[in-house]
Amino acid sequence: MIKIFPNVLSNSQGRLNMKIGYIQSSPLFGDKEQNFEEIKNLTSNIKADLIVLPELFVTGYTFISKKEAESLAEDLEGETAQFLTDISQSTGAIVVGGYIEKDRQKIYNSAMIVSKNGVIGSYRKIHLYFKEKMWFSPGDKPLKVYDINGIKIGIMICFDWIFPETARTLAILGADIIAHPANLVLPYCQSAMVTRCLENRVYAITSNRIGEEIRGDDHFKFTGKSQITSYNGEILSSAPNDKSFIDVIEIDIQKARYKKLNEFNDLRNDRRPEFYNSIVNQKK
């Protein structure tokens, strides 16, 4: 499979510029066609290199049974994969978006990464939140960074943010950017991503949703405020908390590859994993 960023820009000063963005949507539970249509309308005039969509953007979030979640699940050749491929073709972007992945007898809260030529890969959420543990199997694949035309993209999903090991592992694996589909209901993540990016010197795209879902015993209000966070902790883009929204900005990837804070401190080389490992071993 050919994997390309058709819009990546570079110049003689060593910059590697690319256009990255997020889509903040308001999905209707279970209405795939309507949810596809909203994304299609939001991206109708967009050109970019990387676009991130929310967690479970096509199905909604608040399931009332595992059977219901299973009924909305797809494999990597399903309609969501085809839709995201179409979005990649129309925007020129690599696209990352959340869906329910079906694999034999299990379902996962997953995010696929797609080019104009089709699916590149899929990440299964490793830290499940609240009743997700009733519907989904926990992710069973290691964290991975996708090297696409020299740009390195890691993926995590929503509640993964609260475990610093997730972003740190992706950074150690070489991620320039962390694509972060989310359905956030807690108010902490957007601020926490400043620290996640600063401590790892990576960019992050947190694509959240808006709206409310009241189903069964649950009532979730999603916080919106999707954001792009810079390697130095600066918030480069922030969406409203109550409107569907899309934004695309230009960044210099090379800045995420320079891990020095000053002439004495390098965030990658100053790590002391021999001591971190001893703490893990003591716990065992």
- Each residue's pLDDT tens digit, 111-140: 999 999 999 999 999 999 999 999 999 999
Residue 74 lies in a domain: yes
pTM attached to this predicted model:
0.94
pLDDT the model gives residue 282: 57
pLDDT of residue 10: 57
Q: Could you tell me if residue 1 is inside a domain?
A: no
Q: What is the tens place of the pLDDT at every residue in 238-275?
A: 999 999 999 999 999 999 999 999 999 999 999 999 88
**Residue 4 is assigned to a structural domain of this protein:** no
pLDDT the model gives residue 2? 32
Kindly state whether residue 124 falls inside one of the protein's structural domains: yes
3-state SS of 82-137?
A: HHHHHHHHHHCCEEEEEEEEEECCEEEEEEEEEECCEEEEEEECCCCCCCHHHHCC
Catalytic (active site) residue 125: yes
Tell me if 16 is assigned to some domain.
Answer: yes
Q: Which of 38, 55, 74, 132 is catalytic?
A: 55
Q: In terms of residue numbers, what domain contains 112? A: 9-283
**Average pLDDT rounded to a whole number, residues 184-202:** 98
Is residue 74 annotated as part of the catalytic site, yes or no?
no
pLDDT at 189: 98
Which residue spans within the chain are E strands per DSSP?
A: 9-10, 16-24, 50-52, 94-103, 106-115, 118-124, 145-148, 151-155, 177-181, 203-207, 212-215, 218-221, 227-229, 235-238, 245-252
pLDDT of residue 151: 95
For the domain that residue 146 is a member of, what is the CATH number?
Answer: 3.60.110.10
pLDDT tier, 149 (very low <50, low <70, confident <90, very high otherwise): confident
The average pLDDT across 101-113 equals 97
Whether 1 shows a pLDDT value over 90: the answer reads no
Structure tokens at 238: 């922030």
158 is catalytic: yes
Instruction: From the candidates 158, 189, 197, 213, give the one annotated as an active-site residue.
Output: 158
Given a contact cutoff of 8 angstroms between Cβ atoms, the answer to whether 120 and 148 are in contact is yes
3 in a domain, yes or no?
A: no
- What is the rounded end-to-end Cα distance, in angstroms, of the chain? 42
Tell me, yes or no, whether 104 lies in a domain.
yes
Pick the catalytic residue from 125, 132, 152, 225.
125
Number of domains in the chain: 1
R_g (Cα) of the chain, nearest Å = 18
- Residues 88-115 have a mean pLDDT of 98
Q: What is the mean pLDDT of residues 53-72?
A: 98
Decide if 146 is inside a domain: yes
